[in-house]
């Protein structure tokens, strides 16, 4: 089940591996889906972030992009000056990428292995990343933003104010979704054990 994969990502066990209970699941797949349904209302955007992060769900990514776009437009309502439509797209893409890959992007030089082979076929530690990931910094955000909208770094610093607010908004929504899910699972497990 894809939902079970998502729940396991956050250490919420849908299956009891305790040998005394015979391996019976604490929550069935239907119950897990019901938990998602109960918790969805608390933070739909947070759930979209979780689906993109944990399941690489393309439909959720499209919906998340639309919701992030609405928030970006709301944040830029008082923006002084002009900006192209591509700026909103770049802000959304960068914020979503950072919110769903908080440990950083996979290093393109070592493909996430943290080891590269030099010209003499010696295995060396990758100089570009930490443990196979390129952590998010001001420079990596600028590089990601520039893939959609090529601007100067000084212009990007102006957009970065909105980008920071978008990031906080996405991560806050994600946190609310995870907390709601954990509370609901704990409540359901407590009810099941009391029966």
Locate all alpha helices (DSSP H) within 41-116, ordered by sequence: 44-55, 58-75, 85-100
* DSSP at 107: P
pLDDT tens profile 89-139 = 999 999 999 999 998 999 999 999 999 998 899 999 999 888 899 999 999
Asked if residue 29 lies in contact with residue 3, where contact means CB atoms within 8 angstroms, the answer is: yes
Does pTM top 0.85 for this prediction?
A: no
Average pLDDT over residues 32-39: 64
pLDDT tens profile 64-77 = 999 999 999 999 99
Domains of the chain by residue range: 2-194
Burial of 25 per CB tally in 10 Å (0-12, 13-18, 19+): middle
Asked if residue 76 lies in contact with residue 83, where contact means CB atoms within 8 angstroms, the answer is: yes
Sorting pLDDT into bands at 50, 70 and 90, what band is 19? very low
- So what's the pLDDT on residue 80? 86
* Non-local CB neighbours of 160 within 8 Å, separated by 6+ positions: 138, 141
């Amino acid at each position: 089940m894809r939902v079970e994969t998502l729940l396991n990502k956050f250490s919420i066990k849908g299956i009891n591996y305790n040998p005394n209970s015979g391996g019976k699941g604490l929550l069935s797949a239907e119950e897990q889906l019901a938990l998602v349904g109960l918790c969805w209302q608390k933070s739909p955007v947070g759930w979209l972030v979780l689906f993109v992060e944990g399941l690489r769900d393309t439909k959720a990514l499209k919906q998340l992009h639309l919701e992030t776009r609405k928030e970006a437009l709301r944040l830029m309502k008082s923006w002084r000056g002009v900006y192209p439509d591509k700026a909103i797209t770049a802000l959304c893409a960068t914020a979503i990428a950072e919110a769903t890959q908080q440990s950083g992007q996979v290093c393109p030089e070592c493909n996430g292995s943290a080891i590269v082979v030099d010209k003499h076929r010696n295995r060396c530690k990758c100089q570009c990343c930490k443990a196979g990931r390129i952590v998010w910094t001001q420079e990596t955000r600028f590089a990601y933003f520039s893939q959609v909208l090529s601007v100067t770094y000084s212009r990007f610093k102006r957009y970065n104010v909105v980008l920071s607010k978008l990031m906080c908004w996405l991560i806050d929504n994600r946190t609310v979704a995870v907390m709601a899910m954990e509370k609901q699972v704990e409540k359901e497990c407590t009810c099941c054990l009391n029966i």
